[in-house]
Amino acid sequence: EKPEKVLDELTLEGVSRFMQSEKCKNVVCMVGAGISTSAGIPDFRSPGTGLYANLQSYKLPYPEAIFEINFFKQHPEPFFALAKELYPGQFKPTVCHYFMRLLKEKGLLLRCYTQNIDTLERVAGLEPDELVEAHGTFFTSHCLRSSCRQQYSLDWMKERIFSSLIPKCEKCQSVVKPDIVFFGESLPSRFFTLLQSDFQKVDLLLVMGTSLQVQPFASLVGRSGPRWPRVPLS
């Protein structure tokens, strides 16, 4: 049986008409570092300009070590030095961030799944329940000691990072880490819980600013089913 035609033509104009039709009620956005580069935040993998290409001053065994949990537990200093450069509050959302807010205001945004840790989706006006911050966020922090896990705020962490201090828990003096997902840590349970329901409802999947090289985030593109459009936007 020939499948139903969803778009009247395979162009951005066709996608736009579909978004304005009765058939499109739930839009899911998948976004990565590319939507924040015009805000002044470097992506990770671009040759020469990406974050991993410019970490020589931190004397790492290899660039990715700065985001590895075992390395961080032994040597937290490089990460917190880098965090001062990337910390939320120094950058403003881009047109892409405000486009997602517009989708929200039009009643179309089901969820934004983001790989970014810069919190610019929140700054642009998306609420926490409209977000799945798949790789975590700077917005909250926790003590690393499993028997403590005291939570700390964005402002608490900012005060210590910009004072060039290693943040220590006020209860047990263990290192406090922002709730971003390091290599060697599991993604938030919210990611796995919501994708089960969201991708049964999605009518249109917009992929923006990500090369889809990191799993399991990249696997989301295969969950929307064969009938609904998946649109990569650069």
Domain range annotation of the chain? 12-233
Six-digit token string for 50: 């990406």
At 36, which amino acid appears? Answer: S
Helix (H) or strand (E) holding 230: strand 230-233
Q: What is the structure's pLDDT at 43?
A: 62
Question: Tokens 């900012």, residue?
Answer: 158
Candidate list 75, 97, 135, 142, residue with the active-site label? 135
Task: Please state the residue numbers annotated as binding site for Zn(2+).
Answer: 143, 148, 169, 172
Q: How many CA atoms lie within 13 A of 167 on its CB side?
A: 27
How many angstroms separate the CA atoms of 116 and 170, rounded? 28
Task: Please state the residue numbers annotated as binding site.
Answer: 143, 148, 169, 172
**142 is a catalytic site residue:** no
Q: What is the structure's pLDDT at 47?
A: 60
Specify whether the CB–CB gap between 210 and 31 falls below 8 A: yes
Q: What is the structure's pLDDT at 86?
A: 78
Q: What is the mean pLDDT, run by run of 10 residues, along the chain of 234 residues?
A: 76 91 94 89 60 64 87 92 80 95 97 93 95 92 96 94 94 96 92 93 92 88 77 75
Q: What is the structure's pLDDT at 112?
A: 98
Q: What is the structure's pLDDT at 4?
A: 72
Q: What percent of the residues of the chain are helix, what percent strand, and what percent coil, each to the nearest 5? A: 40, 20, 45
The CATH T-level fold of domain 12-233 is Rossmann fold (3.40.50)
